[in-house]
Amino acid sequence: MDKMILENQEPFDCAQGASISGLSVVEDRFAPKTKPARFLFLLSIGILPVALGFWYYLPVILGPADRVYLTYDSVLLYVSDAVGLIAVAAWGLKMALSHTALRFGQNFFEWLLLAIVVLATASVFWSRSPVVSIYTALHFWLLLALFVAASREPDAWRAAAVGCTVTALVQSVIGIAEFGLQTTTILRPLGMAWPGDLSAAVSGASVVQLLDGTRFLRAYGALPHPNILGGMLTAWMAGPAGLFLAGGKRRWWAAAVFGLATIALTLTFSRSAWVGLAAGALMATIHFRVFDRRRLLALALAAIVCGLAAVIPARALIFTRVSGAPVSTEIRSTLQRLTLTGQSLAFIRKYPWGVGAGAYLTVTAVETEGDYPVEPVHNVYLLAANELGVAGGVLWLAVAIGVVIVSLRNRAPQGALLSAVVVGLLAMAVFDHYLWSLPPGRTLLWLFLGLWAGHVRRMK
């Protein structure tokens, strides 16, 4: 992979010159003593998107709450956490061998993210679930290290793009097959806990229902929920997009992968993912002048043609999702989200300092009546305010606003593409929670924040 990345270095370069900080990395690039560590780092960054698509995990401590699903109140070590830890360790070794000093805080995003991590750590002392808060805080520290490593290594995006392309292809094929067969049993040989053996007739399966009561299973991929597949596909699609838009030989297969991912994204019927895709597309359109216009047009055409191939046959199902049709599943979904939002706002008023990192559902299970499973509020910014207090919500909102402002000033292809992804993810965060509440979701967001911040840093 390292050889492939280096051979394709030129097409990805987004600036004709390098900054002083960038030159120090370039000079160290072929130093014999650091090459193994650098290779391991880039290999890990390339594997990380693949690991994010398969949620294998090792249970360390299982949560005690009956109404809280184990992913929210347990200590679980995901395979993506292990890969991320290897990447951080390899990068740290590379820095040590090259005697390169780490200069932290060169932009305000690093200070904002550090403040969030410190606040998450401090929340352990007043948390309603200290064990979960310690686990969540440690995970945030890992993500901060991953963010720094990804932002400091110029070739990190090239490695991630390869991994994103492979994952987009694999997950799209799985998702399209699941929708076509209307079952997830094709994943049984993989031996994963999620999504399990599902069909439209299974209680609790995520479906789209027509007015006549006919139910259709949504595309899951190899993930626990269609919304997660949709959101992650929005990020993974940056891989084939970047490979196709790069200079040099045209990679038409990359455009085909991008189109295939568009079909799979449509079949997730995830409204939050559609919003994220629209926000990312808008950001890319704003910066269309920085791209090769013929390639951008060809990529857009591939997405439109493939999207229509999915939309036209599934138009009745899509209409159900976007029209507010009087279907029981849609009414229940809307009422649930409104209820969760109201509950979240009430908790913010009651606990303005927060209930502790990762402890929101523990508090919800104790302070709400009923025997039904509890869920997080479907809004990352409200969830951050609930767990880390009003200050935490404000800090995370500041990160989002800052990303949008800086992204609008971008003048380079790589930066425009990464800006589209990050803005899309932050837009999705208004309508879903997994980018905060679930470790693999957090990893995806912080990885792309690091890749994006690295571009911003080198452009300066």
pLDDT per position as a tens digit, 293-321: 899 999 999 999 999 999 999 999 999 99
Tell whether the model's pLDDT for residue 129 goes beyond 80. Answer: yes
Closest CA to 116 of 142, 144, 149: 144
What is the structure's pLDDT at 460?
63
Q: Give Cβ neighbours of residue 319 (< 8 Å, ≥ 6 apart).
A: 325
Contacts of 357 (CB under 8 A, 6+ apart): 120, 121, 123, 124, 127, 132, 133, 136, 137, 140, 387, 388
Q: Are 138 and 411 in contact (CB under 8 A)?
A: no
d(C-alpha 108, C-alpha 114), whole Å:
10
Contact 339, 224 (CB under 8 A): no
pLDDT over threshold 60, residue 128: yes
CA 372 vs CA 118, 363, 365: distances in Å: 34, 14, 9
Q: pLDDT-based confidence at 175, cuts 50/70/90?
A: very high
Task: Give dist(CA 65, CA 397) in Å, integer.
Answer: 30
Residue with the bigger pLDDT between 171 and 328: it is 171
pLDDT at 249: 77
Record the tokens describing residue 263, joined without a space.
């079909």
> Cis before residue 195, ω within 30 degrees of 0?
yes
With both helix axes pointing from N to C terminus, report the angle between 439-459 and 413-428 in degrees, rounded to the nearest 10.
150
Instruction: Kindly report which listed range (195-199, 297-301, 359-363, 456-460) carries the lowest average pLDDT score.
Output: 456-460
| pLDDT above 50 (res 3) | no
Q: How far apart are the first and last CA of the chain?
A: 29
**Calpha distance 347→352 (Å, rounded):** 8
pTM, entire model: 0.91
Secondary structure element (H or E) that encloses residue 77, with its range: strand 75-78
C-beta of residue 223 within 8 angstroms of C-beta of residue 232: yes
- What is the maximum alpha-carbon separation in the chain? 68
Phi, psi of 58 (to 5 degrees): -115, 115
For residue 24, pLDDT over 70 is answered with no
What local confidence, expressed as pLDDT, does residue 8 receive? 42
Domain that holds residue 190: 2-459
Q: How many domains does the chain have?
A: 1
> Per-residue confidence at 106, pLDDT binned at 50, 70, 90?
confident
SS3 for 57? strand
Phi, psi of 263 (to 5 degrees): -60, -50
- DSSP three-state, residue 66: coil
Integer Cα distance of 374 and 386 in angstroms: 15
The vertex-383 CA angle with 380 and 385, nearest 5°, equals 110
Question: What SS3 class is residue 216?
Answer: strand
Crossing angle of helices 413-428 and 380-408, in 10° steps, is 160
Q: Name the band, by pLDDT with cuts 50, 70 and 90, for residue 28.
A: very low
Give the mean model confidence (pLDDT) for residues 52-80: 92
Give the tokens for residue 371: 């025997």
Higher pLDDT, 149 or 2: 149
Does residue 34 contact residue 28 with C-beta atoms inside 8 Å? yes
Could you count the other beta carbons within 10 Å of the beta carbon of residue 78? 21
Could you tell me the pLDDT band of residue 246, with boundaries at 50, 70 and 90?
confident
Mean pLDDT of 273-293: 94
Euclidean distance between CA atoms 106 and 83, whole angstroms: 26
Judge contact between 123 and 357, C-beta under 8 A: yes
Residue 359 CA to residue 161 CA, distance in Å, equals 34
| Residue 5 confidence (pLDDT) above 50 | no
Q: What are the tokens at 393?
A: 């919500």
